[in-house]
Amino acid sequence: MTNLNDDQVYLKGELIGEGLHKKVYSIINHEDKVIKVGRNVIEEVKKFQNLPDLTPKVFHIDEKEKFVVVEKLYVERFKIMFKKNIIGKYIEVNFRSKSYLRRLLRKVNNDEDINFIYEFKNVIITTNVKDIHENNFGYDKNGVLKCLDLVD
Ligand SMILES: Nc1ncnc2c1ncn2[C@@H]1O[C@H](COP(=O)(O)OP(=O)(O)OP(=O)(O)O)[C@@H](O)[C@H]1O
Ligand SMILES: [Mg+2]
């Protein structure tokens, strides 16, 4: 249990996500938020605050206990879109070339996939994220694609 102040408490729920360096938990009675712990999470949310449209909203930073509370994203839908539409490695570098974009767009024939490719490109270029893989992005409740992992 985490005491925030006298009238607000975040209760850690189940583990819902895990990478090499960080763990992410649901929060009881806060369906729309997650607790994140692990390497450099405080530094990471500071980056999120500088890129508020393309990263999870930040609700709480506990510098002492070293955890943060951020907006929960829907990660499964992104995985499907990524597997369906993205080819190759070095995606960040490739997205800077027009020929890579043309190559991706050549394979698709519907607005949803076309929009995904452009939206994903914009998230990558704007956030400057280097660690690009299917587990590091998700959609917010309004369907906006965001990057959820911004620690180097
Ligand atoms: N805001 C969020 N909403 C929902 N799930 C999340 C959120 N942030 C992280 N996760 C889940 O937790 C996992 C681990 O988070 P994150 O990618 O930040 O950790 P990591 O240890 O740095 O990962 P990596 O192995 O890519 O370095 C993510 O892959 C994702 O499934
Ligand atoms: Mg990750």
We report the CATH number of the domain holding residue 9 as 3.30.200.20
Of 33, 51, 71, the position where a domain reaches its end is 71
Among 11, 61, 14, CA closest to 41: 61
C-alpha–C-alpha distance, residues 106 and 100, integer Å = 10
Higher pLDDT, 152 or 147: 147
Q: What is the DSSP string of 99-144?
A: HHHHHHHHT--SHHHHHHHHHHHHHHHHHT----STTSEEE-TTS-
Neighbour-count burial for 98-126, b at 16+ CB within 10 Å, e otherwise: eebeeebeeeeeeeeeeebbebbbebbee
Q: Ligand 1: which residue has its CA nearest to atom 11?
A: 17
Does residue 152 form part of some domain?
no
Sign of CA dihedral 48, 151, 17, 5: negative
Across the strands, what pairs with 24?
17, 36
Q: For a substitution probing ligand 1, which of 15, 75, 77 has the most ligand atoms within 8 Å of its CB?
A: 75
Residue nearest to atom 1 of ligand 1 (CA): 72
Q: Does pLDDT of 6 surpass 50? A: no
- Average pLDDT for residues 14-22, to the nearest whole number? 97
> Which residues on adjacent β-strands are paired with residue 131?
none
* Share of residues in the chain with pLDDT > 70 (%): 95
Residues touching ligand 1 (Cβ under 6 Å) are: 17-22, 24, 34, 36, 56, 70-73, 75, 131, 135-136, 138, 148-149, 151
Q: Is pLDDT of 2 > 60?
A: no
**Closest ligand 1 atom to 151 CA:** 22
For residue 88, give every residue at least 6 positions away whose Cβ sits within 8 Å of its Cβ, in sequence order, or none.
Answer: 94, 100
Structure tokens at 88: 């190759």
List pLDDT tens digits, range 25-43.
999 999 999 999 999 999 9
What pTM did the predictor assign?
Answer: 0.94
Among the candidates 49, 71, 93, a domain finishes at: 71
Higher-scoring residue by pLDDT: 151, 78: 78
Whether residues 55 and 107 share a domain: the answer is: no
Instruction: Indicate the number of domains in the chain.
Output: 2
Residue of 14, 15, 18 with the most ligand 1 atoms within 8 Å of its CB, for mutation: 18
Position 75 confidence tier, pLDDT thresholds 50, 70, 90: very high
pLDDT band at 112 (very low <50, low <70, confident <90, very high): very high
pLDDT at 52 over 90: yes
pLDDT band for position 9 (50/70/90)? confident
Asked if residue 113 has pLDDT above 90, the reply is yes
Mean pLDDT value across residues 69-88:
97
Residue span of the structural domain in which 63 resides: 2-71
